[in-house]
């Protein structure tokens, strides 16, 4: 399973990259706004900066919601760097746009996916990635990881090539569960990635080894 970091914060992207386990980045309008990125020139510059740090796919989300504008915006985003993947919402014009991008050699990430039916549509349109939001599903008292498992089974049975990018990750446990049920990629906040490091027995064991090492 690949690890993407789910942020537009350059320091966090650098930290995850320096850990040596980072395969890519996902952003969304909320994450970009959080970093104070405003206006077309600043958006382009920020994606260039991210692509400088990470040698892997970087999802850049369109802000448009009608077919023509999604295509225009997506073409501009894709032109920033070969690693840019155009992130398109799961709406009717979004699906049409994903098909257009697929036919024109531009890779897409279909976002805001909350059901297996939507995931099938994204795959049929040729999305490179589909992003089910598991944390937001959990928030509604449904099991987000179960959706990942269902999509993994369908994609495997049907031979769909779209990669399952588990999004809206809230914990290290989410990452483990997504790996268990066959997600191709997990996009995670830095805290969840670092959470994978933690085990109290590791800390206790290391303290004991360091104590005993003084006797060596
Ligand atoms: C990433 O592609 C998604 O936009 C992101 O994971 C959503 O996360 P959230 O539900 O924590 O906002």
Residue list, ligand 1 pocket, CB within 6 Å: 6, 26, 28, 111, 131, 133, 135-136, 167-168, 187
pLDDT at 201: 98
pLDDT tens-digit readout, 153-212: 999 999 999 999 999 999 999 999 999 999 999 999 999 999 999 999 999 999 999 999
User: Residue 54, Cβ neighbours under 10 Å: how many?
Assistant: 19
pLDDT tens-digit readout, 91-107: 999 999 999 999 999 99
Q: Which of 32, 94, 135, 139 to mutate to test the pocket of ligand 1 (most atoms within 8 A of CB)?
A: 135
CB-CB contact of 4 with 23 (8 Å): yes
pLDDT at 34: 98
Q: Whose alpha carbon is nearest atom 6 of ligand 1? A: 168
* Domain architecture of the chain: domains with CATH: 2-213 (3.20.20.70)
pLDDT at 192: 97
User: Residue 174, Cβ neighbours under 10 Å: how many?
Assistant: 23
Q: State the average pLDDT for the chain.
A: 98
Separation CA 109–CA 26 (nearest Å): 9
Percent residues over pLDDT 70 in the chain? 100
pLDDT at 62: 98
Separation CA 153–CA 46 (nearest Å): 37
In this structure, which long-range contacts are made by residues 60-66, counting pairs with CB atoms below 8 Å and at least 24 apart in sequence? 60/27, 60/84, 60/85, 60/86, 60/87, 61/27, 61/28, 61/29, 61/32, 61/87, 61/88, 61/89, 61/111, 62/86, 62/87, 62/88, 62/89, 62/97, 63/29, 65/89, 65/91, 65/93, 65/94, 66/93
pLDDT at 134: 98
ipTM above 0.95, yes or no: yes
**Chain length of the chain:** 216
Which of 87, 124, 177, 214 is flagged as catalytic? 87
Query: What's the half-sphere exposure (Cβ side, CA atoms, 13 Å) at 181?
Result: 23
pLDDT at 46: 98
Predicted TM-score (pTM) of the model is 0.96
pLDDT at 58: 98
CB-CB contact of 179 with 186 (8 Å): yes
Three-class secondary structure of residue 170 per DSSP: coil
pLDDT at 216: 96
pLDDT tens-digit readout, 17-40: 999 999 999 999 999 999 999 999
pLDDT at 109: 98
Percent residues over pLDDT 90 in the chain? 100
């Amino acid at each position: 399973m690949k690890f993407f970091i789910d942020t537009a914060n350059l320091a966090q992207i650098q930290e995850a990259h320096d850990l040596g386990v980072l395969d890519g980045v996902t952003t969304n309008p909320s994450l970009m706004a959080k970093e104070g990125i405003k206006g077309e020139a600043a958006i382009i510059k920020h994606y260039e900066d991210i692509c400088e740090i990470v040698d892997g796919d970087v999802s850049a989300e369109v802000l448009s919601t009608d077919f023509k504008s999604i295509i225009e915006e997506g073409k501009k985003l894709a032109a920033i760097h070969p690693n840019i993947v155009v992130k398109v919402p799961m709406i009717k014009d979004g699906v049409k746009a994903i098909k257009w991008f697929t036919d024109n050699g531009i890779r897409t990430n279909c976002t805001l996916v909350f059901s297996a039916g939507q995931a099938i549509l994204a795959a049929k349109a040729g999305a490179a990635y589909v992003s089910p939001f598991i944390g937001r599903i959990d928030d509604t008292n449904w099991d987000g990881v179960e959706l990942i498992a269902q999509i993994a089974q369908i994609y495997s049975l049907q031979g769909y090539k779209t990669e399952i990018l588990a999004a809206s990750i809230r914990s290290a446990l989410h990452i483990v569960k997504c790996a268990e049920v066959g997600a191709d990629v997990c996009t995670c906040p830095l805290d969840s990635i670092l959470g994978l490091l933690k085990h109290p027995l590791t800390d206790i064991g290391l303290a004991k080894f360091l104590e005993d090492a003084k006797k060596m």
